Chain A
Amino acid sequence: MSDRITPEAVAKVAKLARLSLNDGELATATHQLSDMLDHFADIDALDLDGVEPMTHPTPIANVMRDDVEQPCLDRDEVLAAAPVAEDGRFRVPPIIGLDS
């Protein structure tokens, strides 16, 4: 197996992505991601100087519309689909004021 990505880097990526990995999952993910990055290294040899990056396929720039009122989603219907809602809002656990 290659070492294109270290377990430390995978752990950092998982933290950024808000995913928890146990030791076994971390080892598996490191192995699999290294294997993939090895495979994708075929593009390393290409000379891409001066090539414009292509972010999407359509020749569309900005899409403008008239600034007029339009119906929007029903608030109660949206909140009914949320895990926890209260007083017309999404309810979440505390964000500040905890020692952690």
Chain B
Amino acid sequence: MAGTDSTTHDADGRGLPTAAVDIAWNVRNGVISAVDVIERHLGEIERREGEVHAFNLVLGDQARARAAEIDTGVAAGDDMGPLAGVPVALKDNMCTRGIPTTCSSKILDGWTPPYDATVVSRLHDAGAVVIGKTNLDEFAMGSSTENSAFGATRNPHDTSRVPGGSSGGSAAAVAAGFAPLSLGSDTGGSIRQPAALCGVVGVKPTYGAVSRLGLVAFASSLDQIGPFANDVADAALLLEAISGHDPGDSTSIAGGPLHVGNELDWGVTGLRVGRITDLPAGASADVVARLEESFDALRDAGAEIVDVEVPAFTYGLSAYYLIAPAEASSNLARYDGVRFGLRVEAPDTNAMYAATRTAGFGAEVKRRIMLGTYALSAGYYDAYYGRALKVRRRIAADFAAAYERADVLLTPASPTVAFHLGDKTSDPMSMYLCDTYTIPSNLTGDPGMSVPFGTGDDGLPVGIQVLAPALQEGVMFRTAAELERRAPR
């Protein structure tokens, strides 16, 4: 049907709408063809994927077939859904039936899931076209997407720099124009930090708002799936499509999908925006300057800026790096050469377990498994894991108190702009500090999102993080939309 639609675009797809909202409206109404849309994005991948390496797997044939199916449905008069014909990239830790799901780990080599994650089913039902599986730090452990069995992903703004992580492939895919939307997972900042570094919008919804069924578990009390997009409206569209109760996930919150899209134009008049006066230090001067300007922008827009204290914020990093590895050491015990992927043969079962795990896991994953096993082991449990859980309660209480005085809070999403590949790989602690500002909302379960707000050193993107109380995504998106409208150009 190429060339028969009513919009003007050339053979490479230039002239087609780029925003997911526009693509979906035009495909759904038969104005443009989903096949043309997918060809345009596959062309972008062809052109630049070699230098960016956002994907572990590009699903060209499947995406073309699915797009043709959408076009056929539209031609027959069917409503193909709110994401009709929109290409979506999936972080490669979300299960896709019959399609390899690697978590960027050697240990899942050769494994294909026997079922789809709930988010994948919901994308399908909404008319989306899955275009590929994106690279990540192995099992989502990392902040740079360098720690992958398939090699590093690079930042589309400057390919000598990292895209952030662990959902670096999904962030880079959107930033490079490979797909207008993607999904990531966020356990300690793994959506928001790469969104900031790649200059796109990234959302960590309230814990339980999006089903984790079929998301390969890292730290089950912290993991949450969320969207990447080029703008706030597109992120809202995707969040609405994937959220809502799932009986297959026992931590799923009751109730229907989140509704955030219709509030985007409401503005922030009278909104109380909190400035955390005891925010942990560590952000670079350029990032701090953009944060100050973001408060100014919202004040100009009619918001009231209020000072709040969150004294336990600073202990988030320690609590997180005891709790998350503890949960991971338990979750990753299942990779033992019996049910999934890799097996290294040995004369007896115990030796086979050790040989398989030693060969299959990378250095960072082994480090966290050991740290978590130690934090849970007899004699140390109370001192490490037990204390960390109490600190977690303290952090949640401090945020609850802050939210009595403020509707939303603003912080940097990342302490710095994108750093160079190799800068932090030899010192794990320096990498962990990337998560300083994002970790607390995983511990509390509250939502957070990063929205691009100007540039910092070397002209690289800066992301401002908007934090809100549980299930207050509406006010969070409203604030982000105002920041987007007032961002420095």
Q: Does B122 contact A (CB under 8 A)?
A: no
B393 contact set on A, CB distance < 8 A? 51-54
Write the A56-100 contact mask toward B (1 if CB under 8 angstroms, else 0): 111010010100000001100110011110000010111100101
Q: Which chain A residues (12-29) contact chain B, with CB distance < 8 Å?
A: 13-14, 16-20, 29
Q: Give 7 new A-B contacts, CB below 8 A, not counting A17-B373, A20-B354.
A: A19-B366, A40-B322, A41-B318, A43-B319, A56-B251, A63-B250, A78-B339
Q: Which of B255-263, B340-348, B460-468 contacts A (4 or more CB under 8 A)?
A: B340-348
Q: Which of A16, A60, A63, A93 contacts B348 (CB 8 A)?
A: A93
**Alpha-carbon distance between A74 and B220 when the two chains are bound, in angstroms:** 25
Q: Which of B318, B341, B349, B367 contacts A93 (CB 8 A)?
A: B349
**Alpha-carbon distance between A81 and B101 when the two chains are bound, in angstroms:** 11
> How many chain B residues touch A (Cβ–Cβ < 8 Å)?
71
**Alpha-carbon distance between A17 and B82 when the two chains are bound, in angstroms:** 45
- Are B340 and A42 in contact, with the CB atoms below 8 A? no
**Alpha-carbon distance between A59 and B430 when the two chains are bound, in angstroms:** 34
Write the B75-113 contact mask toward A (1 if CB under 8 angstroms, else 0): 000000000000000000000000000000000001111
Kindly provide the distance from the CB of A5 to the nearest chain B CB, expressed in whole angstroms: 7
Q: Knowing A32-B428, A39-B429, A43-B319 are in contact, say whether A16-B373 is a contact too (CB < 8 A).
A: yes
B470 contact set on A, CB distance < 8 A? 57
- In the complex, what residue of chain A is closest to B318 when comparing beta carbons? A40
- In the complex, what residue of chain A is closest to B112 when comparing beta carbons? A81
Kindly provide the distance from the CB of A48 to the nearest chain B CB, expressed in whole angstroms: 4
- Are B112 and A54 in contact, with the CB atoms below 8 A? no
Kindly provide the distance from the CB of B117 to the nearest chain A CB, expressed in whole angstroms: 14
A90 contact set on B, CB distance < 8 A? 338-339
A54 contact set on B, CB distance < 8 A? 389-390, 392-393, 396, 443
- Are B374 and A43 in contact, with the CB atoms below 8 A? no
Q: Does B445 contact A (CB under 8 A)?
A: yes
B445 contact set on A, CB distance < 8 A? 56-58
- Are A20 and B358 in contact, with the CB atoms below 8 A? yes
Q: Knowing A5-B374, A10-B370, A36-B371 are in contact, say whether A93-B346 is a contact too (CB < 8 A).
A: yes
Q: Does B386 contact A (CB under 8 A)?
A: yes
Q: Which of A14, A74, A94 contacts B370 (CB 8 A)?
A: A14
Q: Which chain B residues (350-398) contact chain A, with CB distance < 8 Å?
A: 350-355, 357-358, 361, 366-367, 369-371, 373-374, 377, 384, 386-394, 396
Which of A36, A60, A95 has the most C-beta atoms of chain B within 10 angstroms of its own C-beta?
Answer: A36
**Alpha-carbon distance between A37 and B336 when the two chains are bound, in angstroms:** 27
Q: Does B207 contact A (CB under 8 A)?
A: yes
- Are B221 and A51 in contact, with the CB atoms below 8 A? no
- In the complex, what residue of chain B is closest to A95 when comparing beta carbons? B349
- In the complex, what residue of chain B is closest to A62 when comparing beta carbons? B250
**Alpha-carbon distance between A8 and B147 when the two chains are bound, in angstroms:** 27
Q: Does B266 contact A (CB under 8 A)?
A: no
- In the complex, what residue of chain B is closest to A73 when comparing beta carbons? B114
- Are A48 and B370 in contact, with the CB atoms below 8 A? no
Q: Does A46 contact B (CB under 8 A)?
A: yes
**Alpha-carbon distance between A99 and B163 when the two chains are bound, in angstroms:** 51
Q: Does B253 contact A (CB under 8 A)?
A: yes
Which of B111, B114, B351 has the most C-beta atoms of chain A within 10 angstroms of its own C-beta?
Answer: B114
Q: Which chain B residues (433-471) contact chain A, with CB distance < 8 Å?
A: 443-446, 470
Kindly provide the distance from the CB of A6 to the nearest chain B CB, expressed in whole angstroms: 11
**Alpha-carbon distance between A95 and B329 when the two chains are bound, in angstroms:** 23
**Alpha-carbon distance between A61 and B395 when the two chains are bound, in angstroms:** 21
- Are B342 and A83 in contact, with the CB atoms below 8 A? yes
- In the complex, what residue of chain A is closest to B321 when comparing beta carbons? A40
**Alpha-carbon distance between A83 and B110 when the two chains are bound, in angstroms:** 8
Kindly provide the distance from the CB of A67 to the nearest chain B CB, expressed in whole angstroms: 14
A-B contact pairs, 28 of them (CB 8 A): A16-B377, A17-B373, A18-B350, A18-B353, A19-B354, A19-B358, A19-B366, A29-B367, A32-B428, A33-B367, A42-B318, A46-B315, A51-B394, A52-B390, A54-B389, A57-B207, A57-B208, A57-B443, A81-B339, A81-B340, A82-B338, A83-B343, A90-B338, A92-B352, A93-B346, A95-B349, A100-B347, A100-B351
Q: Which 3 A-B pairs have the closest CB atoms?
A: A57-B445, A53-B389, A83-B343
Kindly provide the distance from the CB of A26 to the nearest chain B CB, expressed in whole angstroms: 10
Q: Which of B253, B355, B377, B391 contacts A20 (CB 8 A)?
A: B355
Q: Does B337 contact A (CB under 8 A)?
A: yes
Q: Knowing A32-B428, A90-B338, A92-B352 are in contact, say whether A19-B370 is a contact too (CB < 8 A).
A: yes
